[in-house]
Amino acid sequence: MTDALVIERYYAILDSGRIDDAVALLDESIEFAIVLPGTVRRGYNRADMLDYLRGRPPVDRRHVLLRTSSAGDVQFAYGSVVENDVK
């Protein structure tokens, strides 16, 4: 069995409501693209990620990771978000 990818630990901590702890797992110079229906949110550092996460409306939210992978220091996650019991 392999160790969980950082991205898997990140989403588990994020879903527990500990945004600051989740973001602390990320490299300071993280670049990200969050692909959502109708939009893509991009950022270029930890502060961008924290701004995005703090700007989301407060709902009952959890991430369902269907696939994860890594190539070098790049990690990917594909899945869905369940908000207020709606996928």
Model confidence over 37-75: pLDDT tens digits?
899 999 999 999 999 999 998 889 999 999 999 999 899
Is the pLDDT at 2 greater than 80, yes or no? no
**Distance between CA atoms of 22 and 86, rounded to whole angstroms?**
23
Instruction: Name the residue ranges covered by the structural domains of the chain.
Output: 6-83
Residues 61, 15 contacting (CB under 8 angstroms): yes
Phi-psi region for residue 21, left (φ > 0), alpha (ψ -120 to 50) or beta? alpha
Q: What is the CATH number of domain 6-83?
A: 3.10.450.50
What predicted TM-score, i.e. pTM, was given to this entire model?
0.85
How many other CB atoms sit within 10 Å of the CB of residue 11?
21
Q: How confident is the model at residue 76 (pLDDT cuts 50, 70, 90)?
A: very high
> Confidence band (pLDDT; 50, 70, 90) for 3?
low
